[in-house]
Amino acid sequence: MKFLSLQPFVPSGSNFEASKQLFLELGFNIRWDGGDYVGFENNDCKFILQKFDNRDFAENFMVTVNVSSADEFRKEVMEKKLPEKFGIRIGEVSDMPYGREVNIIDIAGVCWHFVE
């Protein structure tokens, strides 16, 4: 048997609609919308945004997304002014043992590692 893909359920936090909009602006597309669950994708990266608000859970949840350029990704996020628009936090690009990365803390408190 071969594993084919992984699609984590990501909590939205208290503002489901704003979370949906954030992920659209980050470059993901809605593949399907089931009301309280929305399937997002960008190329082979997929996840399910769940209308779920549990700060303790979200702040202990992390997701890694591989990107072609961490620097370019951060530049695009800053040019779109997403931290100001959505109240998210974004770190500086840093070199880690597993690659070059930039972190975003989303609306719910989930830490997203965008890794080159």
For residues 3 and 89, which has the higher predicted lDDT (pLDDT)? 89
Q: Does residue 111 surpass a pLDDT of 90?
A: yes
CA 73 to chain centre: 12
Band of residue 104 on the pLDDT scale cut at 50, 70, 90: very high
Per residue in 7-25, pLDDT (tens digit) is 999 999 999 999 999 999 9
Q: Does residue 4 surpass a pLDDT of 90?
A: no
Q: What count of other Cβ atoms lies within 10 Å of the Cβ of residue 38?
A: 23
Q: Does residue 82 surpass a pLDDT of 90?
A: yes
Indicate the helix (H) or strand (E) that contains 43.
none
Q: For the chain, what are the domain ranges?
A: 9-115
Q: Does residue 59 surpass a pLDDT of 90?
A: yes
CB 74 within 8 A of CB 90: yes
Per residue in 33-50, pLDDT (tens digit) is 999 999 999 998 999 999
Q: Which CATH architecture has domain 9-115?
A: Roll (3.10)
d(CA 51, CA 37): 6
